[in-house]
Amino acid sequence: MSFSVTFSFVNPPTRCPGKMAAEEQCSAPPRWRPISLTHVEYPAGDLIGKVLAYISLLPIAILVGFVTLIVFKRELHTISFFGGLILNEGLNWILKHILQEPRPCGGAHATLNTEYGMPSSHAQFIWFFVVYFFLFLYLRMHQTNNARCVELLWRHILSIILLSIALFVCYSRVYLLYHSGKQVLYGGVIGSVVAVVWFFITQELLTPLFPRIAAWPISEFFLVRDTSLIPNILWFEYTVTRSEARNRQRKLGTKVQ
């Protein structure tokens, strides 16, 4: 009879100095906070609240759309429109910190840009945008004598859509308890007044300067343009693009022959 004994030696685990330092640093984790610009809360299980929360993000989509238009179109009136939006937001921030009226107590939201709610920034933003767009549609894109009924109809339909969006955005802020009805009302009134004032400043003071600004060397370098004298820029771009495409197609056909 024979016996065999096997001994196994296991080295004790060694701790890497770098790992130890990392664990010591992680012993007190930092506080993480979401970016409240897009952090909109709604009651759990509330489908209407969820839809309204997404609707309340429309001002951010509008800002992204403006930046896209400015980058690709580089039109002075669009830049002026965007500048008015920024001034409107700055005015809202000043008014909030002057009035310092708190938000509704029933909200108890975890993240907020500011604890003040008067006036509502969403309401002030969306009504500035909608009212300015109304004036742009009916005064800037003035109706010519040969305007077709279809052209007039789409303006009215677009106006109704914009008005509905503004009302839904304002309602979402009250429903989600971010603002009281009074805060939303004052925000809408202030945004509308600022839109009217800024539109006429743009039309009467800035628009006459646009041709000079467009002629600056820096404007020519960045391809900044002025379309103030063109009543319907969409139709103009369509006809010019179609004409240029046909001319190039004829030249290409001639070369092939």
Share of the chain above pLDDT 70, in %: 75
Q: Is residue 19 a part of any domain in this protein?
A: no
Give the count of domains, the chain.
Answer: 1
Within a domain: 9: no
- Domain holding 97, by residue range, is 47-105+115-248
Whether 34 shows a pLDDT value over 90: the answer reads no
* Over residues 83-101, mean pLDDT: 89
Q: Each residue of 72-91: b (16+ CB within 10 Å) or e?
A: ebebbbebbbbebbeebbeb
More confident: 41 or 113: 41
What was the pLDDT predicted at 211? 86
pLDDT over 90, % of the chain: 15
pLDDT in tens, 36-65: 555 677 777 778 878 888 888 888 888 888
In 3D space, the residue among 52, 64, 59 whose CA is nearest the CA of residue 178 turns out to be 52
Has residue 83 got a pLDDT over 60? Answer: yes
Q: Specify if 36 maps to a domain.
A: no
Q: Which of 120, 93, 94 is nearest to 107 (CA)?
A: 120
Residue 102: φ, ψ to 5°: -70, 165
Q: Confidence band (pLDDT; 50, 70, 90) for 198?
A: very high
Q: Residue range 13-21: average pLDDT? A: 49
The pLDDT score that the predictor gives to residue 113 is 58
The yes-or-no verdict on residue 191 having pLDDT over 90 is yes
Strand partners, 225: 75
Question: In the beta sheet, which residues pair with residue 116?
Answer: 102
- For the segment 180-209, the average pLDDT, to the nearest whole number, is 90
Identify the pLDDT of residue 60: 85
Under the banding of pLDDT at 50, 70 and 90, the label for residue 255 is low
Please report the DSSP string for the chain in residue order: ----------PPPPPPHHHHHHHHHHTSPPPP---TTT-----TT-HHHHHHHHHTTHHHHHHHHHHHHHHHH-BHHHHHHHHHHHHHHHHHHHHHHHH-PBPPTTT--S--S-SB-SS-HHHHHHHHHHHHHHHIIIIITPPPTT--HHHHHHHHHHHHHHHHHHHHHHHHHHHTTSS-HHHHHHHHHHHHHHHHHHHHHIIIIIGGGHHHHHHSHHHHHTT-B--TT-S-HHHHHHHHHHHHHHHHHHHHHHHH-
206: in domain:
yes
Q: Would you say residue 38 lies in a domain? A: no
In this predicted structure, the answer to whether residue 137 has a pLDDT above a threshold of 50 is yes
Question: 33 or 45: which carries more pLDDT confidence?
Answer: 45
- Cα separation, 145 vs 164, in Å, equals 29
Domain assignment of residue 99, yes or no: yes
* Contact yes or no for 118/95 (Cβ under 8 A): yes
To the nearest whole number, what is the mean pLDDT of the chain? 77
pLDDT at 7: 39
Query: Whole-model pTM?
Result: 0.74
What's residue 189's pLDDT?
A: 93
Identify whether 30 is part of a domain: no
> Is 78 contained in some domain?
yes
pLDDT bucket at 223, cuts 50 / 70 / 90:
confident
